[in-house]
Structure 1
Amino acid sequence: MLVFIQVLRAVAATMVVWHHARHEAGLLAARGGGAALAPGTLLPWWAGVDLFFVISGLVIVLASRSLAGAPGGRGRFLAHRIARVVPLYWLTTALYLALALAAPGLLGEAGSLGRDPAFVAASFLFWPMARPDGSLQPLYGLGWTLNYEMAFYALFALGLGFGLRGAVAWLGGVLVALVALGALLAPPPPLAFWADPIVLEFALGAGLGLARLAGLRLPSGARIALALLGLAGMLGAAWHLGGEGEVPGFARPLLVGLPAGLLVAAAALGPGLGRGGIAALPTPLRALAVLGDASYALYLTHPFALRAGREALLRLGLASALSPWGAMAAMTGLALLAAVAVHRLVERPLTRSVRGFLENRVGPSRRPVFIGREDR
């Protein structure tokens, strides 16, 4: 198990939560009379998504080593990915849809989109479809990252018949071609969505996965240097970009994707977890590894938890008593606790059931490389 990849998952998800908690704290201050949040941030917290994309490319390569070129490998790979991604996303999207239909005024534009059957179907099927304002976001807005993930999985599955190196070469070639097409021709959606330069972060992660499988290991000093360079790059991106808004085009993979790649390289190109397993880790690392297992649940459920926390603070009369940072910490803590509970009580059983159902239809799987408890 690559424990520092699990830690980075936890960090990436928490960054996204903190980014959205800033927005909730601003609303809380406006409604509760508290102090407004100061502009600017230390890090581009939204860059947790970029970390996820690089990690995803890495993990898919490592976890697919036994499937590349094997009979039925494509089907087993897709079964694993569907079981991992689809159930919880469909569940949270269905909950969001129920809110959109029951109280459309609470969700703004998304409330009306819930009454468009074609848009709802596209959202569940990971198909990028434009909203009235032109943005290519599904009904549950966080699903935009999963629209990329599912396209990435489909492309990678097509290449698995070429062997692992061939699959990574195929994936990188297609992604580079898509980005070039998008830059030169400005294609219509959904091709414009898939041609965003952010997809190159998947290829970067896949390349790191091949490097690890090829035996590349770096000494501790070199990995610490990579991590520091990656952190410096993130700090520089926040300073250059202002830290608040997300950046389209090539600026994002260059200013944020490359530092994310350095952080993932520092985590991936070292030794795996020893015989003692997670139990042998220091308590802080053990807690982060557990949160890393729940990172997908944290990503999908945190908007519900943040809003619930915001309303609780208002109703308890704590909105004006807490500083904006205190309110953010309280809401973020609630989101972390809720995610661990959802992961253990909902996500894990759902994933296990769906995976068993799908594997019975594609044949038994060979055991892949152990990256994390939820990537087998």
Structure 2
Amino acid sequence: MIAPPGKPDQGPAERLLLVQMLRAMAASMVVVHHAQHDAEAVAAHLGLAFTRGDLLPWLSGVDIFFVISGFVMVHASANLFGRVGARRVFLTRRLIRIVPLYWIATTIYLAVALIAPRVLNSDAPSLWQIIASYLFIPFMRADGFVQPVYSLGWTLNFEMLFYFVFAAAIALPRRWAVAAASAGLALLVAGNRYLGPWPLPLGFWGDTIVLEFALGMGLALLRAQGLRLPGLLRLALIAAGFFLLHLDLSAADGGVVPQFLGYGIPAAFIVAAAVLGRETGRPPVFERFLVALGDASYALYLLHPFAIRALGQLEARTPLGALLGPWGFVALAYLAAVALALAAHRWGERPLLDRLRRLGSPAR
């Protein structure tokens, strides 16, 4: 049976290892999606047939990320709700966490676009597009996509909206803050749907996908109130979540429901299974690797295109492509992306964040 709610959590946020593992999985899903896209080019170059593996809609890893993000913002802010100066502390933490690596990735992308534009197969961006990309402002590119110069940043444009909505509510007590932030997101979506469509950037931010943040916030409230689910029910949630994702009800080629329902609800089932259980102590070796990859999941998400594209260029110029074949390319591209992310996190991202956090800490 379901464990009854216990004493509400008021202490410092604990680190949930299952959430880190889930982050690793979500980032890996995105990598597999993009690796298969480049594998199609490898197969065409070699004159081979290649059929994508569609066991899951791999980009739904983004939806899992958004639900996790909603959960983590509430869970990690347990000591900030209702405090004077909470907005500044919260936004400082989030900007330090998100901005540096994204700006670095964007700058590298622009440098490659300047030095070797054929590698990226994209038009040169305008000065406004570059500025808007660095400032997380959605805009429409020449190809018709509402994406920044470094296209993976489209998810961060949603994240930044969520952070500012959440920051606006964080001075309230936790339950009221979650309600206010969720209402703000819902009003934005409803306004865009029934009074719009609104022009950019509001039209972009008014997508139903932002409601996935609210799902995560709701899960955080349930955990904070002491709700814990038994193992069999959590396994059922995982099975239901992946089954619904496998059905791919929000597919671009004929999806029958909005992304929030087709991907967001199943993602919430999976995240609920991870966060509404009890931690089991130090995990085995493989699970510790997944935790480490979860710690590096932001680097994995942002940097994997560089590893994939570099490997694609190598395969196009050497016998490696014929030796591995398209599925061998997918496997090697994933391993290369993981290696790059772990190295970048260990020797670049983590030291940089530690330094910035010390600089951003209030004087004692």
What is the TM-score normalised by the length of structure 1?
0.89
* Alignment-derived partner of residue 226 in structure 2: 215
Q: 1:97 Cα shift?
A: 1.2
Distance apart, 1:250 and its partner CA: 5.5
Q: Deviations over 1:221-252 (max 9, x none)?
A: 11111111111111112xx556xx48899621
List per-residue Cα deviations over 1:240-292 (Å, max 9, x = no partner): 556xx488996211111100000000000011353xxxxx3112211111100
| Pairs within 5 Å for 1:57-96 | 57-96=70-109
Which residue of 2 is the match for residue 269 of structure 1?
276
Q: Is the 8 A contact 1:46 1:246 kept in 2?
A: no
Note closer, same or farther for the CA distance 1:249–1:129 as it changes in structure 2 (3 Å cut).
farther
Match of 1:232 in 2: 243
Displacement of 1:101 in angstroms is: 2.3
Task: Rate the CA distance shift 1:175–1:248 in 2: closer, same or farther, 3 A.
Answer: farther
Describe the superposition over 1:166-189 as per-residue Cα deviations: whole angstroms up to 9, x where unpaired. Answer: 211111101111111111121111
Q: Which residue of 1 aligns with 2:31?
A: 17
Deviation at 1:103, TM superposition (A): 3.0
Equivalent pairs counted in the alignment come to 349
- 1:133 Cα deviation after fit: 3.1
**In structure 2, C-alpha distance between the alignment counterparts of 1:26 and 1:144, rounded to whole Å:** 24
Work out the CA distance in 1 between the residues paired with 2:253 and 2:168. 31
Aligned amino acid, residue 135 of structure 1: F
User: How many angstroms apart in 1 are the aligned matches of 2:335 and 2:253?
Assistant: 24
**Residues 301, 246 of structure 1: CA spacing in aligned structure 2 closer, same or farther, 3 A cutoff?**
farther
**Aligned residue in 1 for 2:166:** 156
Identify the match of residue 124 of structure 2 among 82, 87, 112. 112
Structure 1 Cα separation of the partners of residues 42 and 172 of structure 2? 53
Distance (Å, rounded) in 2 between the aligned partners of 1:56 and 1:249: 26
* Runs (5+) with no aligned partner, structure 1: 275-279, 365-376
The amino acid that maps onto 1:158 is: A
Identify the residue that residue 198 of structure 2 maps to in structure 1. Answer: 187
Give the match for residue 54 of structure 1.
67
Give, in whole Å, the separation in 2 of the partners of 1:206 and 1:102: 43
Q: Could you tell me which residue of structure 1 aligns to residue 143 of structure 2? A: 133
For 1:287, the equivalent position in structure 2 comes to 289
| Contact map agreement 1:197 1:249 (CA 8 A) in 2 | no
User: For residues 138-186 of structure 1, what are the alpha-carbon distances to aligned partners after superposition, in whole Å with 9 as ceiling and x for unaligned?
Assistant: 0000000001101100110110111211211111101111111111121
> How far off is 1:325 after superposition?
1.6
| Separation of aligned partners in 2, 1:178 and 1:2 | 31
Task: Please state whether the residue corresponding to 2:278 is helix, strand or coil.
Answer: coil
C-alpha separation between the residues in 2 aligned to 1:324 and 1:96? 25
Q: Is the 8 A contact 2:250 2:258 kept in 1?
A: no
Q: Which residue of 2 aligns with 1:3?
A: 17
Cα RMSD for the two superposed structures = 1.8
Cα distance between partner residues in 1 of 2:240 and 2:34: 26
The amino acid across from 2:246 in the alignment is L
- Given that 1:22 and 1:37 are in contact with CA atoms closer than 8 Å, whether structure 2 keeps it comes out as no
Residues 188 and 83 (structure 1), Cα distance of their counterparts in 2 relative to 1, 3 Å cut: same
Cα distance in 2 for partners of 1:214, 1:328 equals 43
Candidates 55, 62, 70, aligned match of 1:42: 55
| CA distances 1:303-328 after superposition (whole Å, capped 9, x unpaired) | 00001122223333021222322110
In structure 2, the residue corresponding to 1:209 is in which secondary structure?
helix
| Structure 1 counterpart of 2:212 | 201
3-state SS, counterpart of residue 124 of structure 2: helix
Moved more, 132-141 or 169-178: 132-141
The 3 A distance-change label for structure 1 pair 39 and 338 is closer
Q: Secondary structure at the match of 2:324?
A: coil
How many angstroms apart in 2 are the aligned matches of 1:53 and 1:247? Answer: 23
Indicate if the aligned counterparts of 1:298 and 1:335 stay in contact, CA closer than 8 A. Answer: yes
CA contact (8 A) 1:234 1:259 kept: yes
Q: Which deviates further from its counterpart, 293-302 or 125-134?
A: 125-134
- Rounded to whole Å, the distance in 1 between the matches of 2:253 and 2:154 is 14
Percent identity, aligned pairs only, is 47
Distance 1:146 1:357, change over 3 A: same
One-letter amino acid matched to 1:203 = A
CA deviations over 1:323-371 (Å, ceiling 9, x no partner): 32211001111101110000111111111122222223xx56xxxxxxx
Amino acid at match of 1:96: Y
Answer yes or no: is the 8 Å Cα contact 1:3–1:273 preserved in 2.
no
Counterpart CA distance in 1 for 2:129 and 2:331 is: 35
Secondary structure at the counterpart of residue 189 of structure 1: coil
User: 1:371 is matched with which residue?
Assistant: none
Amino acid at match of 2:116: A
Measure, in 1, the Cα distance between the counterparts of 2:100 and 2:351. 10
